[in-house]
Amino acid sequence: MTGAEQGERLRDRIALVTGASRGIGRAVAKRFAAEGAHVIAVARTQGALEELDDEIRDMGGSATLVPADLCDHAKIDQMGAAVYERFGRLDVLVANAGMLGVLSPMGHIDPKTWDRVIDINLTVNWRLIRSFDPLLKLSDSGRAVFVTAGAARKNRAYWGAYAVSKAALEAMVLTYAAEVAKTPVRVNLLDPGAVRTGMRAEAYPGEDPMTLKTPEDVSEAFVRLAVPSCHRHGEIICAEE
């Protein structure tokens, strides 16, 4: 199915997606491209990004590949400068990259694991805000979508750094949303729910993945929050809504 057949609701928009090489990020990148956006696909794995690029080109879309480990925070600043130099703005930011870490009692988590989970799930997203907020404000309708999870609000045993990082992410993003409320930028958190991804399999190894939604199933929720006509702001939204 081509972008024209789906309806190009993101036509000529510049959209950056992190964690774009697999799972939800990959599905969103492809869906955005099908909807007419030029996708800036960010992930660590060069080969997977190249495969994504081939698929996007096959459907008539376009993408810019950025192989980068976002824990190298300087790379995020460099991305911001490069996007400004090439495009002069950013219309959509999808902050999807994340890490589960380990399911363990709090006191048993290795400090290096704790630091990396907090870095990827929280600090990296702050760095994205820091780098791309000015570019979103240069858009006529900047949209930012941050991926969260129910673990942030359920306070379940053993979810440790992941739950803490997502709870902090929600507080940070809602604070940012309050700060840009009087601008054309709209900022939301999206909870995809139970989706057939590698992270889900890691957290629930005994679960039948065929009972879960696919990443493609939740991509529509991202489109709805990315379009210029979206007026939702400062919300935590479930993909089923």
φ, ψ (nearest 5 deg) of residue 26: -65, -45
Q: Taking the CA atoms of the chain, what radius of gyration do you get in angstroms? A: 17
CA-CA distance, 176 to 173, in Å (whole number)? 5
CA-CA distance, 47 to 60, in Å (whole number)? 20
CA-CA distance, 218 to 26, in Å (whole number)? 12
Q: Which residues are catalytic?
A: 162
CA angle 12, 51, 120 (to 5 degrees): 80
Q: Is the dihedral of CA 220, 21, 129, 81 positive or negative?
A: negative
